[in-house]
Amino acid sequence: MNPLLALRPWEAPEVTSWGRLPMNAVDRRAGALNLDGEWRFQLLPAPDAPVSDVWSASYVPGVWTLQDTDDLPQYTNVRMPFPEFPPSSPSENPTGVYERDVDVPAEWAGRRIVLQVGAAESVLLVQVDGRPVGVSKDSHLAAEFDLTDVVRPGSSAAVRLTVVKWSDASHIEDQDQWWHGGITRSVLLYATDPLYLADVTVRARADGELRVDCQVRGVLPDGWYVTGDLDGEPLAQDAEFDRLNTEDERVSDFLGEARMCATVPDVRTWTAETPELYGLTVRLHRADGTVTDTSYQRIGFRDVEIVGRDLLVNGERIYIRGVNRHDFHPLTGRTVSYDDMRADLVLLKRFGFNAIRTAHYPNDPALYGLADELGFYVVDEADIEAHDHAHEIADDPRYLNAFVDRVARMVLRDKNHPSVIIWSLGNESDYGANHDAAAGWVRRHDPTRPVQYEGAAKLDWAATDDASDIACPMYAPIEDCVAHALSGEQTRPLIQCEYSHAMGNSNGTLADHWAAIESTPGLQGGFIWEFWDHGILQRVTDGRPAGRSGAGLYDNGVAAPGHRWAYGGDFGETIHDGAFIADGIVFPDRTPKPVMYEHREIAAPVRLTCFKHEGLVVENHQCFRGLDWLSARWELALSDGRTLTAPAELPDLIPGETAAVPLPFELPDDGGEAWVTLRVTTKDDEPWGPRGTEVCAPQLRLRAAPAPRNATVQGPPVVVDGEGLLVHPLLTAAPTLSLWRAPTDNDELGGIAGRWRTWGLDALVRKVVHVRRDGEKVTVHAEYAGTSGVVRHVQVFTSVEGGIRVEESAELPEDFEDVARVGTVFETVPGLDLLEWFGQGPWESYPDRSAGAPVGHHSVPVDELFTPYLRPQESGGRHGVRHFTLSAPDATGLAVRLDEPRQVSVTRYRAEDLTAAAHHDELVPRPGCVVHIDAAHRGLGTASCGPDTSASYLIPPGVHRWNWTLRAL
């Protein structure tokens, strides 16, 4: 039996580790033996169950829940997946036993040998050749163990890693994500000299001052010393601090300290816009000059401070354009590769993000080096969330060690990364003495960065004596944030740790939010929730995860036939929170959702602010960088179908500066609508994008459209059937009134869809009241009855040259104070597979999420218009459409011209098709097109978790009027 089981660490919250080495910031991957790959594996029903002689295989790193075991993933948000109260865990407790033989290199004789397990959830027990080595908790930080006395160089050792899934620690790892079990990061075996660098602490200031503090441990020889260089330039030793604590040089467990200092002239400072890095090498020498240990790090010179209510980097006020990010992959769960992480950050950089909150635990260590290199501000968050039992645990002394230990180990690991500008004490764990203790440790150990914790700051945004230096609320209405900033009571920066919940078709009012931030001193941004939709690729045939073999079975956000994106409840679990796990700005395969384009324009480094007689006003909206890294060209979109282009020369502007530039086009005299766009791209290759990568496309309207004129020449006669429905050879379903949309996640979870169903908007009953023909005009009066009101609808069909003009009105009763849409829906014959339009696009847009869709001429195949949100719902709309055509390959089809810019959607699905489906594999596309023309369409908001859309995007009762003209091509 494993002797470590006698400790029963899974039910002892006061035990955070046993035999585990201290955390440090010295990277040991160079020269290490990588133990990743196939390990012998058994999954036991409980930690004290006997290990058999029958082994299967499991890949490390990886979670067993995605590797063909009977313990499948489970998703919960707040609720724990078992009923036991802290610190208890369930008796049925899946326990993975990993084992492999390791050949220890003979050349490691006489050296110190260390095992590093990158991460394991939730309790790790280590044995070597049957001997107990150590225990560790904290599912998202590495654990190291000294094996020097239990292995023999030149021979093989049997390493056994036992991972217990549930424990007292699970109650403070109650993050909004899938529950897994396994070893989720790499396992390494490395060796050092008996005298080694135990830690390196770097302080690099924006004025060029550098201080490097080194800790040295081990067997002490006489005359050891430390040297270092910065990009090849040697550092000076500070004799006053050299070799501290060395009075007794005979001890074998010696601790010494040394300090080196330098002043770098003309230092290149680090910011997210200018991520300048220097190579720092530290060497530990014996008296004869030979090197016993080396540490190499890339460091950045920068300052972070709070002055009044402003967060400053290098003395400048910055905006935090952030996103919350989990370590996630649709095939491997919490195991992500270096290439995965780089692709994540490259994508975010291309769409204007400059900050990451590591929700809700320290991310894979490679992410921080990438953030240093590519340029991101990081809020580094400790692995603490006690959501289900937050109030009890925040003051529970049994969890005090765990709180301080987790926060301290995070700081010790990540302290040298310039990208880390704020430490976070965790997430959604109420507020208590345990947080104060952790905050006190951080403030004493690292006074160079602020500390934040939403649970402390939410009690009083203006407080100055709690565990948070920043007011960092969740989903606060922007009106409340503005009111606080204008109240005169604000004492610290207000940066929302979560806002704009990205579940399904969401992120409404994002542009309004940022307009308020940028115009209100004291507000500095926030972090969108979140980066990923955490859909796991699942085989439909047997309901099991596709696992590592699923690569290539998804593309552009869509799972291949026979597969789907699974969310809570899809693996047979009874306790789950459904599709709430699908709340990201990218799909599970990292395909951007339309909101990414919205954010890119909101974060644009170049703005067009107005059109004056002297030209267009261009603004540099960056904090640290000029415009010399950018190229641009002008586009002029005219409503008559023409698009003109011209080269653009960006002015030489410092951050915040504006300049007028001449309009490069002569506006035609025809009086039509005209829009000018500045297409801004990278001038040269950037680490996150090749030359020519589009950065933003600011746009201004130069001239509005003239008032529409109704055609007077008659066309073919209008034909209606006995129900007063238009008969047309290109339509398979006549134009009728539509008030319903397939509820978005915001509609459902915000309670809005329930109200619509109560009114009967999903099942309106149409009754013809009157049909009157007057020459080439037919007027149809109809009523649409719900369960609590009647809508009066009038359609006037008039024969015009080449087609039919449709004038419509709908009178909503007072009870219908907030409907989904008011408009027309019809269906076309098959074969009309291309949509071309003049309006906003080319990607999906809605009334409260349209800033990133410039007005122009767009062309998209119908099958590509639909956005495959994980739970089917309203999607594929285009805002501000003036006119559009639907055509077949032979150029036949139909054309629609609208009375004014309207919301239009063209997909293969009726609203009831989408409403009835839980996954996309349940949807059957219709052969023709389902076309919606909306006089008004409700905003999206973020009411699944956060504020609903603002009042200006709601649809009031009363009379709504619209008209459109249908012609055959």
Q: Which residues are catalytic?
A: 428, 498
Q: Half-sphere exposure of residue 620, counting CA atoms within 13 Å on the CB side?
A: 20
- The values of phi and psi at residue 338, to 5°, are -60, -45
Nearest to residue 875, comparing CAs of 851, 907, 847?
Answer: 907
- Structural tokens at position 308: 């009044």
Identify residue 105 by its one-letter amino acid code: P
CA–centroid distance for 288 within its chain: 52
Strand partners, 561: none
440: which residues sit within 8 A by CB, 6+ positions away?
none
540: region left, alpha or beta (phi > 0 left; psi from -120 to 50 alpha)? alpha
Q: Cα dihedral sign for 447, 451, 456, 462?
A: positive
Nearest to residue 478, comparing CAs of 964, 950, 954, 956?
Answer: 950
CA–CA distance, 918 with 871 (Å, rounded to integer) = 6
Identify residue 312 by its one-letter amino acid code: L
Residue found under tokens 């644009």: 604
3-class SS of residue 198: strand
**8 Å CB contact between 674 and 584:** no
722: region left, alpha or beta (phi > 0 left; psi from -120 to 50 alpha)? alpha
Burial label for 626, CB within 10 Å (0-12, 13-18, 19+), is middle
Identify residue 761 by its one-letter amino acid code: L
N- to C-terminal Cα separation, the chain: 80
Q: How far is CA 944 from CA 321, 499, 743, in A?
A: 21, 11, 12
Q: Cα dihedral sign for 579, 585, 590, 593?
A: positive
CA–CA distance, 563 with 546 (Å, rounded to integer) = 8
CA–CA distance, 256 with 244 (Å, rounded to integer) = 5
3-class SS of residue 958: strand
- Structural tokens at position 185: 């990061």
Nearest to residue 12, comparing CAs of 117, 89, 79, 96?
Answer: 89
How many Cβ atoms are within 10 Å of 891's Cβ, its own excluded? 9
Helix (H) or strand (E) holding 400: helix 400-414
Q: Half-sphere exposure of residue 667, counting CA atoms within 13 Å on the CB side?
A: 17
- Structural tokens at position 334: 């919490």
CA dihedral 154, 160, 161, 163 (to 10 degrees): 180
Strand partners, 794: 781, 809
CA–CA distance, 302 with 313 (Å, rounded to integer) = 7
DSSP H helical segments within 19-126, as ranges? Answer: none
Residue length of the chain: 969
Nearest to residue 388, comparing CAs of 574, 165, 177, 175?
Answer: 175
CA–CA distance, 28 with 21 (Å, rounded to integer) = 14
- Name the pairing type of β-strands 536-539 and 563-566: antiparallel
- Structural tokens at position 35: 């133990």
Identify residue 385 by its one-letter amino acid code: E
3-class SS of residue 521: coil
